[in-house]
């Protein structure tokens, strides 16, 4: 191999190495975090990526309070966020359960009154 050819190859390789160091790599985009309420009913709400596609339409105790809760991505994590009304509604429903534990009809009537009272306070 002629010395000139070796020098040219050396220059080309050196140039390629230098240029490759100057090329900016595009940041790899992370897929968006899926975040939502993972369970369909009740007062115990969990947040995460396992959001059900379909929920039953059966109403369960505490479902009315869920309108005051949601899941949001905060600091890169899926977290439960509650409006103040959620805790008030939950406390009222839990008291209904305690007061009328042996009468389902009364429990649901009491829960309905909790929600009505809350709506009046908010309005």
The model's pLDDT over 49-81, given as tens digits with 9 standing for 90+, comes to 999 999 999 999 999 999 999 999 999 999 999
Residue 108 lies in a domain: yes
Asked if residue 1 is part of any domain, the answer here is no
Strand partners, 73: 78
- Sign of the C-alpha dihedral computed for residues 34, 36, 39 and 45 taken in this order: positive
Q: For the chain, what is the domain count? A: 1
- State pLDDT tens for residues 27-42: 666 666 789 999 999 9
Nearest to 49 by CA among 39, 30, 32, 36: 36
4 lies in some domain = no
Question: What 3-state DSSP class applies to 30?
Answer: coil
Q: What is the pLDDT of residue 120?
A: 85
pTM of the shown model: 0.68
Question: Average pLDDT over the chain, rounded to whole?
Answer: 84
| Structure confidence by residue, pLDDT tens digits, 100-119 | 999 999 999 999 999 999 88
Tell whether 8 is covered by a domain. Answer: no
Range of the domain at 118: 36-122
Gap between the Cα atoms of 55 and 6, Å rounded: 71
């Amino acid at each position: 191999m002629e010395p000139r050819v070796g020098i040219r190859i050396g220059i080309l390789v050196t140039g390629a190495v230098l240029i490759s160091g100057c090329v900016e790599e595009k940041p790899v985009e992370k897929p968006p975090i899926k975040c939502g309420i993972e369970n369909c009913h009740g007062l115990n709400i969990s947040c995460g990526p396992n959001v059900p596609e379909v929920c039953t339409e059966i109403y369960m105790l505490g479902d009315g309070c869920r309108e005051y809760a949601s899941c949001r991505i905060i600091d890169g994590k899926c977290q439960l966020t509650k409006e103040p009304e959620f805790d008030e509604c939950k406390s009222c429903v839990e008291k209904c359960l305690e007061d009328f534990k042996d009468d389902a009809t009364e429990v649901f009537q009491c829960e309905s009154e909790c929600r009505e009272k809350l709506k009046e306070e908010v309005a």
